[in-house]
Amino acid sequence: MSVTDAHIHVQPWWELKPAVLDVVRRGRTDLDEIEKINRSPAHLLKRLDADGIERAVLVNYPSPDLMGFTTRVNEYVAEYCAAAPDRLIAMGGVHPRLAEDAAEEVRRAADLGVRALKLHPPHMNVEPNAYLHGLDGLRALYEEAQRLRLPVMIHTGTSIFPGARSRTGEPMAVDDVAVDFPDLTIILAHGGRPLWMEQAFFLVRRFPRVYMDVSSIPPRSILRYFPPAPGGDRGQGPLRQRLAGARRQEHGREPARLPRARAAAGCGGPDPGGQRARPLPLTRPGREGRPSCRRHRRRPTRLRCLRNQW
Separation CA 218–CA 37 (nearest Å): 24
Whose CA is closest to 129, among 138, 141, 120, 117? Answer: 138
How far apart (Å, rounded) are the C-alpha atoms in residues 174 and 75?
28
Alpha carbons 188 and 263: distance in angstroms, whole number: 9
| CATH architecture for segment(s) 4-278+294-306 | Alpha-Beta Barrel (3.20)
Contact 170, 202 (CB under 8 A): no
307 class by beta-carbon count within 10 Å (0-12 exposed, 13-18 middle, 19+ buried)? exposed
Question: Taking CA 8 as the corner, what is the angle to CA 243 and CA 176, rounded to the nearest 5 degrees?
Answer: 70
Q: How far apart are CA 49 and CA 55, in angstroms?
A: 9
Residue pair 23/160 in contact by the 8 Å Cβ criterion:
yes
The pLDDT value recorded for residue 272 is 34
State the DSSP H helix or E strand holding residue 241, giving kind and residue range, or none if neither: strand 241-242
Strand 116-119 relative to strand 88-92, pairing: parallel
8 Å CB contact between 236 and 204: no
Task: Please give the pLDDT value at position 277.
Answer: 35
Terminal alpha carbon distance of the chain: 18
The SS3 call for residue 109 is helix
CA 310/CA 305 separation, integer angstroms: 9
Q: What is the DSSP string of 44-93?
A: HHHHHHHHT--EEEEE---BTTTT-B-TTHHHHHHHHHTTSTTTEEEEE-
Asked whether 80 and 40 are in contact (CB, 8 A), the reply is no
Give the whole-angstrom CA distance, residue 48 versus residue 50: 5
Question: Rounded to an integer, what is the distance from CA 12 to the centroid of its chain?
Answer: 17
The pTM (predicted TM-score) of the whole model is 0.80
Question: What is the pLDDT tens value at each position of the chain, 310 positions in all?
Answer: 688 999 999 999 999 999 999 999 999 999 999 999 999 999 999 999 999 999 999 999 999 999 999 999 999 999 999 999 999 999 999 999 999 999 999 999 999 999 999 999 999 999 999 999 999 999 999 999 999 999 999 999 999 999 999 999 999 999 999 999 999 999 999 999 999 999 999 999 999 999 999 998 888 888 888 887 665 544 443 333 423 222 222 222 222 333 333 334 333 333 333 333 333 333 333 333 333 333 333 333 344 555 555 5
Under 8 Å between Cβ of 74 and 109: yes
